[in-house]
């Protein structure tokens, strides 16, 4: 008959517990069992006891290497279970395997001399009496085991002083398979039809395992409790289509090659070297998005969790239980990618001491056990993510665990341009996209993809073609971070220039054009048009319109548009001086005042004429803005709300 000595998911402590159960059955007068390696096949112990043994063994294995260690301990042990019924099952198993140590379940009134290993179940009405008996055991140097369902009621007074807190509430498919072998002597042919038992209690399965029926019939009756959920495959982004993930992208693509060979059965999982990775780097470098892309590349589900999520549990037992649930789910759903984010939330044992040392030691020990199990599970790829790699316990990064560390960096300017080009397609020239790259420093590839998608949607809904302007509009700049009143002042200045430019036919205006309006006009010569004196006067009026708008809406001007050789005032002054001194169109008439002799004689006259020309320009701009004040204020309001500001496309009349 098939034995369970090498059953999947078992460990030495579990096997010792099962052997003790078999020995107990063999010692019963009615038993015909004479081989302790044979399955338990007589009345008295059923599949539910086998499952209870596996749950206890898996939970206690990190703390006790043998039954002797468990039998001779003096520690207080708290064990969380799925239901109170499961607590009873496990208590009966522990009573058998610890009988020689004086185990007693639910002692009454007082501990007798032979009661050297008290086991309590739940809390209930006798909680005070149980706590008194536990305290008595402690005074006598005896161990105590307390099994309880934390959702029913937890013995808080006991768990706060427990030396060991473990979770034994989550069944796995491996445990269920072991129960079939133990009870029936073989695996059912239709075992793959069952889903996950992780939400069931061991006691839920007792009625389904019966003599006189086949294991296949047992599976059929269990299907209602454990329906198999088909894995839905959806089209997702893949690493092949991404830029900006550096070494991590290379690692993922290499894994994808081996993964496909393994999937075809041409490579064993032990030969796949890229089975786990630790991604380290500052927030926003794409660590979590990489895990999703990796899952899409491998065409497997992504199971995502985080240490922060585990630590939200009320007690240590809840944290340990959550950790097991996440890893068990991943191992059952393999092939898959398991992401454990914020891994630095598990303190390194080297950095802790004092009252919290035992707490964190239990978490780290369980994490080491789970990571080892995960990395040996065929098809399971483990991705850890951390912002602080130096805080990771060194044992987690040793060979066979998260033994490959990749430092994640944000995309460079060239990589950003490549990412933009990939998602924008051929509709926008790469040289235009390069101008946007500096504004996207600090963004991940996923952020940029989202930005392009939003820009396309905005342009589509507005009935406009997708353009560089649509992309620029999606990028929040310094302007959006300013206080509302400052934004209103800047918006007023820019809106004044736009309204006047429209009125004077100085530019084509695209409603989606960006906020990077510098206040200057292109000075390149447009084919087919020679600039005239009127062109210069119109251009100066546009440059001075920002100042005029401030005076209208705020009652005075600010220092916007002044203070540098390239400011609006400097450019307007240069153009006014050009008219007055070089064009023959100024107040002095048909004369070139840039002649070296005249330039030394007439400086004051030149200043006066330039100033009068600038005054005339601002007066002209003010008149236009007063006539179109409602339009100007609407642009200001829209800009302050973040809707963007109309700004010039190539001017119809340009100045050289």
Kindly report which listed range (171-185, 319-333, 338-352) carries the lowest average pLDDT score. 338-352
Give 194's pLDDT tier (boundaries 50, 70, 90).
confident
Average pLDDT, the chain: 79
DSSP 3-state of 508: coil
Strand partners, 382: 276, 338
- In the predicted structure, residue 620 carries a pLDDT above the cut 90: yes
Q: Percent of the chain beyond pLDDT 70?
A: 81
Strands 276-280 and 380-386: parallel
CATH 3.40.50.300 in the chain is located at 239-407
pLDDT of residue 166: 87
The top-level CATH class assigned to 239-407 is alpha beta
Strand partners, 150: none
Q: Residue 192 gets which letter from DSSP?
A: G
Taking phi over 0 as left and psi of -120 to 50 as alpha, with beta for the rest, 528 belongs to left
pTM of the shown model: 0.45
Higher confidence at residue 527 or residue 355?
355
**Residue where the block lists tokens 């109170």:** 84
Q: How far apart are CA 577 and CA 599, in angstroms?
A: 12
CATH 1.10.8 in the chain is located at 413-473
C-alpha triplet 131, 136, 142: angle, nearest 5°? 105
Q: How far apart are CA 521 and CA 653, in angstroms?
A: 10
Higher confidence at residue 217 or residue 509?
217
Kindly report which listed range (47-51, 224-228, 328-332) carries the lowest average pLDDT score. 224-228
Residue 89 contacts residue 48 (beta carbons within 8 Å): yes
Peptide bond into 416 cis (omega under 30): no
Kindly report which listed range (372-381, 463-472, 559-568) carries the lowest average pLDDT score. 559-568
pLDDT of residue 154: 64
Give 14's pLDDT tier (boundaries 50, 70, 90).
confident
C-alpha triplet 464, 469, 475: angle, nearest 5°? 120
Residue 58 contacts residue 64 (beta carbons within 8 Å): no
CATH 1.20.58.760 in the chain is located at 479-648
pLDDT of residue 596: 56
Give 523's pLDDT tier (boundaries 50, 70, 90).
very low
pLDDT of residue 73: 93
The separation between the first and the last C-alpha atoms of the chain, rounded to the nearest angstrom, is 98
pLDDT of residue 352: 62
pLDDT of residue 499: 92
Fold topology of 479-648: Methane Monooxygenase Hydroxylase; Chain G, domain 1 (1.20.58)
- In the predicted structure, residue 357 carries a pLDDT above the cut 60: yes
Give 365's pLDDT tier (boundaries 50, 70, 90).
confident
Which of 98, 10, 119 lies closest to 58 in space, CA to CA? 10
Strand partners, 104: 118
Higher confidence at residue 75 or residue 645?
75
Strands 647-648 and 509-510: antiparallel
- In the predicted structure, residue 74 carries a pLDDT above the cut 90: yes
Kindly report which listed range (234-238, 485-489, 580-584) carries the lowest average pLDDT score. 234-238
Give 520's pLDDT tier (boundaries 50, 70, 90).
very low
Give 382's pLDDT tier (boundaries 50, 70, 90).
very high
Out of 2.60.120, 1.10.8, 1.10.150, 1.10.3210, the CATH code matching 413-473 is: 1.10.8
- In the predicted structure, residue 479 carries a pLDDT above the cut 80: no
Residue 218 contacts residue 180 (beta carbons within 8 Å): yes
């Amino acid at each position: 008959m098939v034995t369970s000595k090498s059953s999947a998911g078992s460990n030495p402590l579990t096997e010792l517990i099962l052997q003790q159960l078999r020995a107990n059955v063999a010692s019963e007068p009615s038993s015909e069992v004479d081989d302790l390696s044979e399955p338990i096949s007589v009345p008295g112990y059923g599949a539910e006891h086998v499952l209870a043994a596996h749950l206890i063994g898996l939970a206690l294995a990190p703390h006790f290497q043998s039954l002797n260690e468990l039998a001779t301990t003096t520690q207080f042990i708290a064990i969380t279970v799925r239901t109170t019924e499961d607590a009873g099952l496990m208590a009966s198993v522990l009573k058998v395997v610890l009988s020689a140590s004086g185990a007693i379940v639910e002692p009454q009134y007082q501990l007798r001399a032979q009661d050297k290993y008290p086991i309590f179940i739940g809390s209930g009405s006798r909680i005070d009496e149980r706590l008194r008996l536990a305290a008595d055991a402690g005074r006598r140097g005896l161990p105590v085991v307390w099994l309880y369902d934390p959702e029913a009621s937890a013995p808080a007074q006991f768990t706060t002083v427990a030396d060991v807190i473990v979770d034994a509430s989550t069944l796995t498919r491996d445990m269920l398979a072991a129960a079939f072998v133990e009870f029936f002597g073989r695996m059912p042919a239709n075992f793959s039809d069952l889903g996950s038992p992780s939400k069931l209690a061991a006691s839920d399965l007792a009625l389904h395992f019966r003599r006189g029926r086949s294991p296949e019939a047992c599976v059929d009756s269990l299907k209602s409790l454990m329906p198999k959920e088909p894995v839905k495959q959806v089209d997702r982004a893949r690493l092949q289509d991404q830029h900006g993930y550096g070494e991590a992208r290379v690692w993922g693509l290499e894994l994808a090659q081996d993964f496909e060979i393994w999937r075809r059965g041409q490579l064993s999982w032990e030969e796949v070297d890229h089975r786990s990775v630790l991604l380290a780097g500052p927030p926003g470098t794409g660590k979590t998005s990489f895990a999703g892309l990796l899952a899409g590349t491998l065409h497997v589900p992504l199971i995502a969790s985080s240490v922060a999520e585990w630590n939200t549990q009320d007690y240590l037992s809840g944290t340990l239980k959550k950790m097991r649930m996440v890893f068990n789910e991943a191992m059952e759903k393999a092939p898959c990618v398991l992401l454990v984010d914020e891994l630095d939330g598990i303190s390194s044992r080297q950095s802790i001491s004092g009252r919290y040392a035992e707490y964190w030691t239990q978490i780290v020990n369980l994490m080491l056990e789970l990571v080892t199990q995960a990395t040996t599970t065929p098809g399971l790829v483990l991705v850890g993510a951390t912002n602080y790699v130096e805080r990771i316990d060194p044992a987690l990064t040793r060979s066979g665990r998260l033994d490959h560390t990749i430092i994640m960096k944000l995309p460079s300017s060239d990589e950003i341009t490549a990412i933009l080009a990939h998602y924008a397609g051929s509709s926008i020239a790469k040289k235009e996209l390069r101008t946007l790259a500096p504004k996207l420093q600090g963004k991940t590839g996923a952020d940029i993809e989202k930005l392009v998608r939003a820009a396309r949607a905005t342009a589509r809904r507005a009935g406009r073609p997708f353009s560089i302007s649509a992309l620029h509009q999606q990028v929040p700049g310094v302007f959006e971070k300013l206080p509302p009143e400052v934004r209103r002042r800047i918006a007023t200045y820019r809106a004044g220039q736009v309204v006047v430019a429209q009125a004077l036919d100085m530019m084509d205006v695209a409603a989606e054009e960006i906020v990077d309006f510098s206040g200057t006009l292109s000075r390149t010569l447009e084919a087919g048009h020679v600039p005239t004196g009127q062109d210069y006067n119109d251009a100066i009026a546009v440059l001075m319109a920002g100042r005029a708008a401030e005076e209208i809406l705020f009652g005075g001007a600010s220092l916007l548009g002044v203070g540098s050789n390239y400011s609006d005032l400097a450019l307007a002054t240069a153009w006014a001086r050009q008219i007055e001194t070089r064009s023959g169109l100024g107040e002095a008439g048909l004369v070139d005042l840039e002649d070296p002799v005249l330039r030394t004689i007439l400086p004051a006259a030149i200043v006066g004429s330039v100033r009068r020309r600038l005054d005339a320009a601002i007066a002209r701009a003010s008149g236009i803005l007063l006539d179109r004040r409602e339009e100007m204020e609407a642009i200001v309001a829209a800009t302050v709300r973040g809707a963007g500001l109309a700004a010039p496309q190539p001017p119809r009349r340009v100045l050289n």
